[in-house]
Amino acid sequence: MSSFVTQIEATVKTWFGVTAPNDPARRLAAELADTIAAFEKLRGTLVFEDEPASFEAALQAAKETAP
């Protein structure tokens, strides 16, 4: 068992007073480490100004026009 899964189980036990009920719960906790790592790789790669060009077009299309 990875240290991440061990930490997750300890945190859940501390905060909620329950243990991982079965192997699927442990597997999902392990997959959480991969999800967190994937988000960490994206850090600093996108900024607000990098929104797709279609976002600006959608805003313009939705803008109310004066009669």
Residue 18, C-beta contacts closer than 8 angstroms, at least 6 positions apart: 12
* Cβ(19)–Cβ(12) below 8 Å: yes
Is the pLDDT reported for residue 66 higher than 70? no
Question: Taking the domains of the chain in order of start, what are their residue ranges?
Answer: 3-62
Q: With bands split at pLDDT 50, 70 and 90, how would you rate the model's confidence at 15?
A: very high
Q: With bands split at pLDDT 50, 70 and 90, how would you rate the model's confidence at 1?
A: low
Residue with structure tokens 């329950």?
18
* Cβ(57)–Cβ(32) below 8 Å: no
User: What amino acid occupies position 29?
Assistant: A
3-state DSSP assignment of residue 52: coil
pLDDT in tens, 19-62: 877 888 888 888 998 899 998 998 877 666 665 667 777 777 78
Is the overall model pTM greater than 0.75, yes or no? Answer: no
